[in-house]
Amino acid sequence: MSLFLVDPARCRGDGICVDECPTRIIELKSGDPTPCVPAEAEEFCRNCGHCVAVCPHGAASITGMAPEQLPRLRSDWRPGPEQITHFLRARRSIRTYTPQTVEREVLAKLIDVARFAPSASNRQAVRWVVIYDAAEVHRLAGLTVDWMRAGLTSQTAAARRNTLRFIAGWESGLDMVCRGAPHLAIACAPASHPWAVTDCAIALTYLELAAPSFGLGACWGGILTGAARQWPPLQDALALPEGHVVCGAMMIGFPRYRYYRLPLRNEAQVTWRG
């Protein structure tokens, strides 16, 4: 069966799918009213579904994506620039959580949103490891502190002072690594994937941005990620899928506090040319 199919009864031959195909494999030959993908070009399809989604007439489909299977775009739900600016400015790194656990189904829904993040060549290579048990999150934070202790001697004096604060905090019962979050979502991707870190970072960003809509707070786990790249005991504990590297982690839980104002940030540094 052909990868790209067109219903000739619906197709108007307007060439929109030809223009929008990212790999330009759809052809509209003169004299032939319906577009097609030559068999030898099918291997270049990214399965992005743009041809299906952009056709106003519901004429195009690819294997696994018929127009009827694709939800309709709700343009009446599109927020304006003021709302989007406020939404993005209001995103916060949440570092204090209630002890309440988040239902697995809710975490699954949150991760489900992240799968719509863009990925290089639509490869969708990001995989998630969810540490659901709060005691296990705490244990991973402890292994990260062990990594910090082991690295102290090779650090500059300033870095060592900072690390010592984390270690002292841990020893007095303050978790500055995972912030006492009940859950951790770890994004990983095949080590062979050249865009592994970027794809994971975007997926994690989607997850962080979506979290408040579920009543949740999130915070990047950069320190834990650094440890997971280097510290074998933590790597063993994470047990990532074979051949995958850790690219980022997100703490997740119910925020203990709410914010009332939007903090300021540096002005954008822009060089305009041309």
- Pick the closer one to ligand FMN by CB: 96 or 192: 96
Among 132, 195, 214, 220, binds ligand FMN (CB under 6 A): 220
* Radius of gyration of the chain, Cα coordinates, nearest whole angstrom: 23
- Pick the closer one to ligand FMN by CB: 48 or 252: 252
Is position 222 an interface residue for ligand FMN (rule: CB under 6 A)?
Answer: yes
Output the smallest distance, CB 198 to ligand FMN, in A: 12
8 Å CB contact between 151 and 162: no
8 Å CB contact between 225 and 247: yes
> For residue 133, which amino acid is it?
D
- Pick the closer one to ligand FMN by CB: 46 or 138: 138
- Pick the closer one to ligand FMN by CB: 120 or 209: 209
Of 215, 214, 213, 225, which Cα lies nearest the Cα of 250? 225
Contact segment (CB under 6 A) with ligand FMN among 104-112, 125-133, 160-168, 216-224 equals 216-224
> For residue 188, which amino acid is it?
C
Contact segment (CB under 6 A) with ligand FMN among 23-31, 87-95, 110-118, 144-152 equals 87-95
- Pick the closer one to ligand FMN by CB: 6 or 223: 223
Region 232-271 residues binding ligand FMN, contact defined as CB under 6 A:
none
Cβ neighbours, 10 Å, residue 115: 13
Among 95, 139, 149, 160, binds ligand FMN (CB under 6 A): 95
Is position 10 an interface residue for ligand FMN (rule: CB under 6 A)?
Answer: no
Give the distance, in angstroms, between the CA of residue 87 and the centroid of all CA atoms in the same chain. Answer: 18
8 Å CB contact between 252 and 179: no
Strand order in 127-131's β-sheet? 127-131, 183-190, 244-253, 217-220
Q: Applying CB under 6 A, which residues contact ligand FMN?
A: 92-93, 95, 219-223
